[in-house]
């Protein structure tokens, strides 16, 4: 949640009622954590749904190396818990940068669904 800014409570509730509590905690998160950050790296993605595929790939690699990993159903359950926060907070992060961003201290890299940098990078927001 580092760098995320709270949204209006009705906007949080519209995405997911449970986000109202998260949103309230974000108000103190900036002072507690974000102000300790000197520089930011933001990895911008085109679609938060890509996270499902990425988690599946990571779990498959773990299993291939002999470690235990989640099933596809467990992955879907796990990742689905984060998607509401991404939906609520990523637009603000991408538009305004992290909460404590300072000029020249934030690098935003946009990646495609294969995790490769896209040819045209977004303009700096700060």
Rounded CA-CA distance 21/12 in Å is 9
**In the prediction, which pLDDT does 126 show?**
65
DSSP letter at 104 equals T
Position 122 scores a pLDDT of: 77
pLDDT string in tens for the chain (126-residue length): 688 999 999 999 999 999 999 999 998 888 888 888 999 999 999 999 999 999 999 999 999 999 999 999 999 999 999 999 999 999 999 998 898 888 888 999 999 999 999 998 877 776
DSSP 66: T
Backbone angles phi, psi at 14, to 5 degrees: -65, -35
Phi/psi at 92 (nearest 5 deg)? -70, -40
| Close Cβ partners of 71 (under 8 Å, ≥ 6 residues apart) | none
Which residue is it, tokens 């045209």?
120
Give DSSP secondary structure letters for 13-61.
HHH-TTHHHHHHHHHHHHHHTGGG-SSEEEEEES-TTHHHHHHHHHHHH
The pTM for the full model equals 0.86
The residues facing 110 across adjacent strands are 44
């Amino acid at each position: 949640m580092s760098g995320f800014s709270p949204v209006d409570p009705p906007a949080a509730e519209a995405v997911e009622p449970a986000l109202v509590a998260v949103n309230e905690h974000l108000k103190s998160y900036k002072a507690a954590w974000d102000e300790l950050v000197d520089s930011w790296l933001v990895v911008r993605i085109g679609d938060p749904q890509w996270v499902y595929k990425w988690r599946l790939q990571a779990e498959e690699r773990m299993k291939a190396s002999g470690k235990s990993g989640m099933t596809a159903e467990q992955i879907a359950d796990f990742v689905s818990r984060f998607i509401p926060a991404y939906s609520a907070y990523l637009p603000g992060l991408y538009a305004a940068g992290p909460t404590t961003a300072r000029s020249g201290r934030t690098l935003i890299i946009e990646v495609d669904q294969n995790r490769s940098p896209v040819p045209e990078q977004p303009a700096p927001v700060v």
